[in-house]
Amino acid sequence: MVKVVSAEPIENHRLRIQLSNGKKGVFDVSPYLDKGVFQELKEPQYFRSVKIAYGGVMWPHEQDFSAETIEYELQ
């Protein structure tokens, strides 16, 4: 099971990601920003509060992305 090892917020609502299977790349969160709970991620300071949790990434108000979603969309 793949897990997120590191997640660094970078410009334009993107995350620099490293996965446990050695894959690295950028995950673009911007396509999700107009959908429900993800709208809060538009705020730059809040977006930078991302943490690794349960193998994926999560923000304080429980917005999250699984490692599988991130791996599938990794650029």
Looking at residue 49, its pLDDT comes to 98
Which two structure tokens, joined as six digits, stand for 20?
């446990």
Decide: 41 and 59 in contact? Cβ < 8 Å. Answer: yes
Decide: 55 and 66 in contact? Cβ < 8 Å. Answer: yes
Which two structure tokens, joined as six digits, stand for 42?
């538009």
Looking at residue 50, its pLDDT comes to 98
For the 4-73 domain, the top CATH level (class) is: alpha beta
**Using CA of residue 18, residue 1, residue 72, residue 4, what is the dihedral sign?**
negative
List the domain boundaries for the chain. Answer: 4-73
- For the full predicted model, state whether its pTM sits above 0.75: yes
Residue 69 phi, psi dihedral angles, 5° rounding: -65, -45
pLDDT along the chain (75 residues), means of 10: 97 97 97 95 97 97 96 95
